[in-house]
Amino acid sequence: MKSRTAKESLSIATDLVLPSDTNALNGMFGGELLSRMDRICCIAAQRHSGHIAVTVSVNHVAFTNPVPLGSTVTIEAKVSRAFGSSMEIYADVWIEDRLSGKRTKVNEGIYTFVALDKDRNKVAVPELIPETPLEKQRYGAALRRRQLSLVLSGKLEAKEATEIRSLFD
Ligand SMILES: CC(C)(COP(=O)(O)OP(=O)(O)OC[C@H]1O[C@@H](n2cnc3c(N)ncnc32)[C@H](O)[C@@H]1OP(=O)(O)O)[C@@H](O)C(=O)NCCC(=O)NCCS
């Protein structure tokens, strides 16, 4: 199976924040952002694998900045690492100033998707080749995030999480 670069999976969604997307403080509702990130991460996973991809885990989400009503929001998603049938996808969230067009990064999310065939059987995915310094950094850390997520979901014994344990040795 031919390996693919991270940028081949790049998927971008730009949309507005409308009143029905907001909380009582006129900021974007967290669940709305999660849903938008999930959709664009799914497209990135499907571009990488060439198969149907389903969310198996949301590994990390940081709502570090509110996204005000009326904002133009852009979410950029790329596969950060591929394993057997699973792929880690990183979503970076930006808002842009209406007048200057200057972009500010406001949030990020990290999702794991699994590639399936039409009968829901797992499918092996191509290896991911990271190219830029950021892609390489995310690729390296993805192994630790995978082990942590598997430990938290009860699918891996903590004592087998060698990448995480090595951080504390
Ligand atoms: C995704 C699904 C097919 C996985 O089935 P499963 O029998 O649990 O499969 P496995 O335990 O072998 O896991 C499959 C892969 O996902 C990875 N995985 C499973 N749980 C994970 C987790 N919590 N975090 C990170 N990776 C995880 C496994 O490591 C494995 O990766 P690999 O093939 O690259 O080694 C199954 O759980 C499913 O259908 N879930 C529902 C998906 C869905 O509908 N999502 C939308 C939510 S509404």
Helix (H) or strand (E) holding 16: strand 11-16
Q: What's the first-to-final CA gap in the chain, in angstroms?
A: 37
Instruction: Give the integer Cα–Cα distance in Å for 7 and 129.
Output: 9
pLDDT per residue of the chain (169 residues) written in tens, 0 to 9: 899 999 999 999 999 999 999 999 999 999 999 999 999 999 999 999 999 999 999 999 988 899 999 999 999 999 999 999 999 999 999 999 989 999 999 999 999 999 999 999 999 999 999 999 999 999 999 999 999 999 999 999 998 998 888 777 7
E-state strands within 29-156? 52-62, 72-82, 86-96, 103-116, 128-129
Which contacts (CB < 8 Å, 24+ apart) does range 160-163 have?
none
Residue closest via CA to ligand 1's atom 16 equals 86
CA–centroid distance, residue 46 to ligand 1 (Å): 15
pLDDT tens-digit profile of 15-48? 999 999 999 999 999 999 999 999 999 999 999 9
| Token pair recorded at residue 138 | 């995310």
Q: Which CATH class is domain 4-130?
A: alpha beta
CA–centroid distance, residue 61 to ligand 1 (Å): 19
Q: Ligand 1 pocket: which residues have CB below 6 Å? A: 54-57, 83-86, 112, 114, 116, 122, 146, 149-150, 153, 155
CA–centroid distance, residue 30 to ligand 1 (Å): 24
- Res 70: pLDDT: 95
Instruction: Give the integer Cα–Cα distance in Å for 74 and 12.
Output: 7
- Res 168: pLDDT: 77
Q: Where are the domains positioned within the chain?
A: 4-130
CA–centroid distance, residue 100 to ligand 1 (Å): 43
- Res 32: pLDDT: 97
CA–centroid distance, residue 56 to ligand 1 (Å): 5
Residue closest via CA to ligand 1's atom 15 equals 86
Are 43 and 11 in contact, with CB atoms under 8 Å apart?
yes
Are 97 and 105 in contact, with CB atoms under 8 Å apart?
no
Which residues 6+ apart lie within 8 Å of 108 measured at CB? 60, 61, 62, 90, 91, 92, 93
